[in-house]
Amino acid sequence: MSVNYNNVYDYCFSKAIIAKEKKVVIEFPARILGTKIATNIHIGAYTYIRGGEVRSLKKIGRFCSIAPNLRVGDGLHPTSYLSSHPFQYNGNDFSFASEYKEYIELSESFNPPLQKRAGTIGNDVWIGSNVTIMRGVNVGHGAVIGAGALVTKDVKPY
């Protein structure tokens, strides 16, 4: 039996978008369908993702079943600073505005650790559709996350 590797690639990575300069390691076989990946990540074998966006996650384990519209790693905004607006730690958002440039100088050396954390998803995890997992959250092996959930804290292994 011969294998057409173009068909295998299309089957495994249909409409997936991987951001430039990101290191994405995917163990074969896995299926990444209609998913935007904007982070350095390792995805385990036999995992499938059926659409969504992964912005901050170090690893997705093996044998994970991930339904459509997963969102992982949206930006966090500090609630204990002068403002929740990112001008305090990300001066690039409005760098086109001249009056904003004075804030850029103040913020260049400051980047809160909450923006840098990336979580993990363990092995054999089932995630329902329309789930949002916040940046830095870890999901333990065998965990089940129901459809429509907003996950703000670590999920223990099953």
Residues with catalytic roles: 77
What's 27-75 look like in SS3?
CCCCEECCEEECCCEEECCCCEECCEEECCEEEECCCCEECCCEEECCC
For residues 148 and 144, give the distance between their C-alpha atoms in angstroms, rounded to a whole number: 12
